[in-house]
């Protein structure tokens, strides 16, 4: 089956620093990737849609200057949390959409803790 | 605006029981519907995907049905096992666009 990886799986950073999270589709090409965040015991909330070679589309209420998304190739998208604050602490999950079936495959998630 | 609701929010059952998890959505104009499983602190594992033209999909002990006109889907788990304990999420895909997730059902199967 299709595999999506995320790196790192867990990161702790100090308030004010920036953190980059990578999302890779390992055995298929993904023209579209999605970034979600999930707070404890809550469902996934879509943050932005990342399209290869173009600007990301952000959901309402998500600051594009704070959550920078780059989708430079068909297998890699990155999310950079800039000037992180404790309220940015969350579980960030990416998904990659198979261009043939439109099924989404999810990464294992990245636990971000901002101290 | 599409809203997806799952009932029950939590379920605790003894091993061996057959289970039905419910998912309802307000806008029937969907492209497909997916059921996922999420273990604590982990990402999502896709269980079943039902295209809008399909009525059901089966994989092992899992069976998912879709009634698009009434905005409902059910996930049936046969002969539940402790290893089935997880949160189950349904999500609808509108016209190959983004997934809208339901609120989830936390399932615990005890020996």
β-bridge partners, B65: B56, B74
Residues of chain B with pLDDT under 50: none
Tell me what pLDDT residue A104 has: 83
CA atoms within 13 A on the CB side of B85: 11
Could you tell me if B99 and A46 are in contact, meaning their C-beta atoms sit under 8 angstroms apart? Answer: yes
What whole-number distance in Å separates Cα of residue B56 and Cα of residue B54? 6
Tell me what pLDDT residue A1 has: 66
Please report residues of A whose CB lies closer than 8 A to that of B105.
Answer: none
Tell me what pLDDT residue A51 has: 86
Cβ–Cβ contact B99 with A under 8 A: yes
Task: Going from the first residue of chain A to its last (115 residues), give the mean pLDDT of each consecutive group of 10, the final group possibly shorter.
Answer: 90 96 91 91 89 88 94 91 96 88 87 96
Chain A residues 75-94 within an 8 A CB cutoff of chain B: 91, 93
What whole-number distance in Å separates Cα of residue A47 and Cα of residue A33? 11
Tell me what pLDDT residue B80 has: 97
Question: Quick one: DSSP state of residue A88?
Answer: G
């Amino acid at each position: 089956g299709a595999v999506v990886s995320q790196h790192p799986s867990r990161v702790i950073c100090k308030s004010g620093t920036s953190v980059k999270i990578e999302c890779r589709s390992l055995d298929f090409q993904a023209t579209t990737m999605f970034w979600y965040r999930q707070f404890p015991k809550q469902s996934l909330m879509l943050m932005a849609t990342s399209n290869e070679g173009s600007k990301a589309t952000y959901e309402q209420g998500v600051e594009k200057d704070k959550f920078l998304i780059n989708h430079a190739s068909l297998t890699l998208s990155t999310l950079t949390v800039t000037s992180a604050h404790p309220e940015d602490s969350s579980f960030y999950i990416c998904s990659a959409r198979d261009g043939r079936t439109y099924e989404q495959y999810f990464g294992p998630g990245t636990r971000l803790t901002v101290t | 605006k599409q809203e997806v609701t799952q009932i029950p929010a939590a379920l605790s059952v003894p091993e061996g029981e057959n289970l039905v998890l419910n998912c309802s959505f307000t806008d029937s104009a969907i492209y497909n519907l997916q059921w996922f499983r999420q273990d604590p602190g982990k990402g999502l594992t896709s269980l079943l995907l039902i295209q809008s033209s399909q009525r059901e999909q089966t994989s092992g002990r899992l069976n998912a049905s879709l009634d698009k006109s009434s905005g409902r889907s059910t996930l049936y788990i046969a002969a539940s096992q402790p290893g089935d304990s997880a949160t189950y999420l349904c999500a609808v895909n509108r016209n190959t666009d983004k997934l809208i997730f339901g609120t989830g059902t936390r399932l615990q199967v005890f020996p």
